[in-house]
A and B are shown apart, each in its own frame.
Chain A
Amino acid sequence: MVAAVAGFAMPVSAETLSFYGTPGLMDMPSAYVLGDGELAMTLAGFGPNLRGTLAFQITPRLTGAFRYSWIDNFNRDGGDRYDRSFDLAYQITRETETVPAISIGLRDFGGTGIYSSEYIVASKAITPTVTVTGGMGWGRLAGRNAVSSPFAFIDDRFETRPFAGEGGIDTTGQVDFGLWFRGDVSPFGGLTWQVSDKLTLMAEYAPDLYQREVERGAAAPLTPLNFGAQYQFDNGVTLGAYSLYGNDLGLSVNYVLNPARARVPGGIGVAPLALRPRDTVVGDSNPTRRLSSGLAGEGMTLENFVVAGSTAEIRVLSTTFPATAQAIGRAARVMANTLPSEITRFEITLLNYGMPVSTVAINRADLKELEFAPDGSWQSLARAQISDATSTDRAGELPDVYPAGNLDFGTYLTPSLFDPDSPLRLEAGVKLTGYFSPAPGMILAGEVRQPVYSTIDTAIRTSNSEIQRVRSDAVRYYQESELELAYLTAEHFARPAPDIFSRVTVGYLERMYGGVSAEVLWYPVDSRLALGAEVNYARQRDFDGGFGFQDYDVLTGHGSAYFDMGNGYFAQVDAGRYLAGDWGATFRLDREFNNGVRVGAFFTLTDIPFEDFGEGSFDKGIIIEMPVTWFTGKPTQDRIGSVVRPVLRDGGARLEVRNRLYGVTRDLRGAEISDSWGLFWR
């Protein structure tokens, strides 16, 4: 709309995605970007190549991608090659009437190097429906019509490009700074024509000669000219068909998801009860029971109820609403519809694992005034007080809350990704999960699993790790166990001082380790920064999943800093000693949307040299998590998603203790509560 007003040409719809799953033509990149925060999933194949890519618009100008490729008969022994690669691209200039969009990109900068290349590219719309793209490519892109480096005048080094795979499999995963923008370059380019809202036609000149594939028996490109058509369906899925390199037909399918746009904004869960007029609120002398059942109807357990003068405090555990602000809004309305009119102020304390975390204080009169007010959301936030929960005694505890317990029977599904022999393996089975809590903050919990179906069992690759095998033997735990104890722990959570949380966990901590874990977290209610420290003694468990232990034990622990950078970016640094006794630090950056969708990446560098670490050189991965309510609109705290590591080895491996304090408290602290305050009245 802005472009139409300004009167210059600008493409009208989302960018087209290339075979590499990032904005581009077919095999070549363009200078365009996805919409900020968008996630693009692409599956594209031609000839012996199949590429699955997840691209994420990390910031408005920075695009990242993780790719898993399958190349038929690529290995020297004739086997198929499964390859992982990461890309980054940065848009230097945005497109304007006179200036094209210009981007600089790194492709496969930390993988095995098959796709290793760099480019500088410009794109510009020349009519409202036609774009032109032209660029220069290094590395793999420097094939046809390659000329010597334009940077040679700066330094002779730019004239030659060292061989990427020089050190063999063990050097993969290292960031190849030494290669970038070195060696010959080839020009590339192309056109897109958006015929209609749904159909885009494209043509490109692609200099990639597929040299390494051809050496291994693939057909050589006959021409550098590719042609294609992409069609976008109403549901957002785009299908493409292409003629590639004069001898191949290609197909692609992609879907772009905008995490900021939940399927149902605010959800479709049952509406809150409206505030009753004062004269219909029956104030009985002992409202605890009605309060408790009203809160239970909103998915909350009332643990304490204290009246002091005109203030009523409730302490609740909310297990249904995904956003804390919504639970507070519901609890406040239940109080207003239940408590006698002498009570004018409500204090709602949120509990987790028996710890009082935060308290939100609300004036009863404000509720009534703002329920349907045009600016009720902002005004109610401005008039509410969010503070650290200070009430750590057991005053006003309802008699039937403790001891508490539950036993749950369910199913589980564990994927195991990226085994070079079979990229997707999984184990499915049934599990029995239970907990018993004799008093607030004291929890005995355990889970037993019985696999029913497993393809992880048939994996034949064994660890070739040259250091202590603290994680790389993970597959043996699947193979050598039947009925297995996933965890069995005693935990104690507490509030030793204002703004301080503590946890002690003893027992079978995770599938591979047992021991003792102690953690403290300093986290002021309105702070962007939280600091934590954790010390663990861990001993490796037997492969059979029973109660036994192996010989290896280690003292491990970390100091952690968690920083909310604002605008949905979160940084985390954990520095300390890892399971193999190696010292180092993990750096993590997440982008999290207010609706709970989280996309992040991390890497760990320790004192284990890259060559001893083995394939991948160092531990790294990406994290994708989505709340189930994003898809269904129903209120639930369930989440799906996982950590995806290209390869799991023994360096930089951290103990997986359940219920680390930052995760347990963050959603209940000030910034998270106010960020989703739009749900207070929902």
Chain B
Amino acid sequence: MKLLPLLVCGLLSACAGLPAIPGLPAADATPTETPAFAAARAGGAEAIQIGVLRSGLSSILFLDTFRDGVGTWISSDGVSIAMRDGMMIATRGLGGDLLGSDVTEPFVAITSGQPGQVTRFHTFLDGENRAVRRAYVCDITARGDRQITLGDRDVPVRLLGEDCVNPEQQFLNLYWIDNTGRILQSRQWAGDFAGVLTFRIVP
């Protein structure tokens, strides 16, 4: 279950035909499982299923650290994704990483099931090692009741959409919420480079 090589191949022109540079290691060389991942798996850590929409691939990530309400989930090849109550707030190692976020407003609106307009803030890493801040205006809409399957159980959920724009970018996040307000499943945008990630809790 390797998240990274697949993502890179899905996103980069490197796989689309630019001439290879002799002597350079291939970008998709198979990395070995990181020690942190092996330890988390052996220790029976909590798991989450994360997919990359563009490549259509998914992987199981384990909870490595939980501090001040933020969980850091790690993949076998060294990517980490930080989440607060089911909302993604940071990525490390996907490329064009999401360095940090303020998603307080959308979190409150979504978990309380309240449609309306909110703002969210992201900071991304650009190709010149700079942190670039972006603010978005988002419309939260209720999209009706759904049913999703977790393990062998069908769970009734409400689907909420979050349509975000700024002058340069736009994206749609979706959240499947149970009746306690918990995000069971979601798709959330991780930036121009990584694109949309999908999340689903592993019961």
Contacts and interface: CB of A to CB of B under 8 A. Distances in A.
Interface of A: 233-237, 260-277, 323, 325, 368, 370-378, 593-595, 628, 631-634, 640, 675-679, 681-682
Interface in B66-98: 66-68, 70, 72, 74, 77-80, 82, 89-90, 92-97
B145 interface: no
Given A372-B90, A373-B100, A678-B129, A266 B95 contact: yes
Nearest to A630: B127
25 contacts: A234-B13, A234-B16, A235-B13, A235-B18, A237-B18, A263-B14, A264-B95, A265-B97, A266-B127, A268-B8, A271-B80, A272-B92, A273-B36, A374-B121, A375-B133, A376-B99, A376-B123, A377-B100, A593-B128, A633-B8, A633-B95, A675-B129, A678-B132, A679-B129, A682-B92
A116 B27 CA distance: 43
The prevalent SS among residues of A at the interface is: loop
Nearest to B17: A235
A373 B93 CA distance: 17
B18 A323 contact: no
The prevalent SS among residues of B at the interface is: mixed
B100 A679 contact: no
A539 to B, nearest CB: 35
Contacts of B97: 265-266, 682
B13 A236 contact: yes
B4 to A, nearest CB: 6
A370 B123 CA distance: 12
A323 B31 CA distance: 22
A681 B124 CA distance: 11
B65 A678 contact: no
A268 B93 contact: yes
B97 to A, nearest CB: 5
A376 B127 contact: no
Nearest to B126: A265
Contacts of A593: 128
B193 A265 contact: yes
Contacts of A677: 129, 131
A631 B82 contact: no
Contact of A631 (B21, B78, B130): B21
Contacts of B46: none
B123 A631 contact: no
A263 B12 contact: yes
Interface residues of B, number: 54
Contacts of A235: 13, 16-18
Contacts of A640: 21
A424 to B, nearest CB: 15
A659 to B, nearest CB: 24
Contacts of A594: 128-130
B125 A678 contact: yes
Nearest to A264: B95
B55 interface: no
B147 interface: no
Contacts of A269: 78, 93
A426 to B, nearest CB: 12
B99 A681 contact: yes
A634 B72 CA distance: 22
A371 to B, nearest CB: 8
B133 A374 contact: yes
Given A235-B17, A274-B82, A266 B125 contact: yes
A378 B99 CA distance: 11
Interface in B1-47: 4, 8, 12-14, 16-18, 21, 24-25, 27, 31, 34, 36
Contacts of A325: 129
A682 B65 contact: no
The interface centre, meaning the residue of B24, B89, B99 with most chain A CB atoms within 10 A of its CB, is B99
Contact of B65 (A265, A274, A595, A633): A274
A44 to B, nearest CB: 18
B101 to A, nearest CB: 6
A681 B93 CA distance: 11
Contacts of A631: 14, 21, 24, 27
Contacts of B74: 271
The 10 A-B pairs at the shortest CB distance, nearest first, are namely: A270-B78, A377-B131, A271-B92, A271-B80, A274-B72, A266-B125, A264-B95, A676-B129, A274-B65, A374-B102
Nearest to A273: B36
B42 to A, nearest CB: 17
A213 B68 CA distance: 75
Given A277-B67, A374-B121, A264 B96 contact: yes
B178 interface: no
A284 B122 CA distance: 38
Contact of B12 (A237, A264, A270, A374): A264
Interface in B120-168: 121-133
A598 B95 CA distance: 22
Given A372-B82, A372-B89, A265 B70 contact: no
B116 to A, nearest CB: 21
Nearest to A413: B23
Nearest to A272: B92
Given A235-B13, A268-B94, A274-B67, 19 more contacts: A233-B17, A236-B18, A264-B96, A265-B126, A265-B193, A266-B129, A268-B27, A268-B93, A272-B92, A372-B101, A374-B102, A377-B123, A593-B128, A595-B128, A634-B25, A634-B27, A678-B130, A679-B129, A681-B92
A274 B36 CA distance: 11
B66 A277 contact: yes
Contacts of B64: 273-274
A595 B99 contact: no
Contact of A682 (B18, B66, B82, B125): B125
A577 B127 CA distance: 41
A276 B65 contact: yes
A374 B67 contact: no
Nearest to B93: A271
Given A274-B80, A676-B129, A268 B95 contact: yes
A595 B127 contact: yes
B10 to A, nearest CB: 12
Contacts of A373: 100
The interface centre, meaning the residue of B17, B97, B131 with most chain A CB atoms within 10 A of its CB, is B131
B12 to A, nearest CB: 6
Interface string B104-124: 000000000000000001111
A665 B38 CA distance: 38
A277 B68 CA distance: 8
A574 to B, nearest CB: 28
Contacts of A234: 13, 16
The interface centre, meaning the residue of B21, B67, B129, B193 with most chain A CB atoms within 10 A of its CB, is B129
A374 B193 contact: no
A267 B91 CA distance: 12
The interface centre, meaning the residue of A261, A269, A274, A277 with most chain B CB atoms within 10 A of its CB, is A274
Contacts of B121: 374
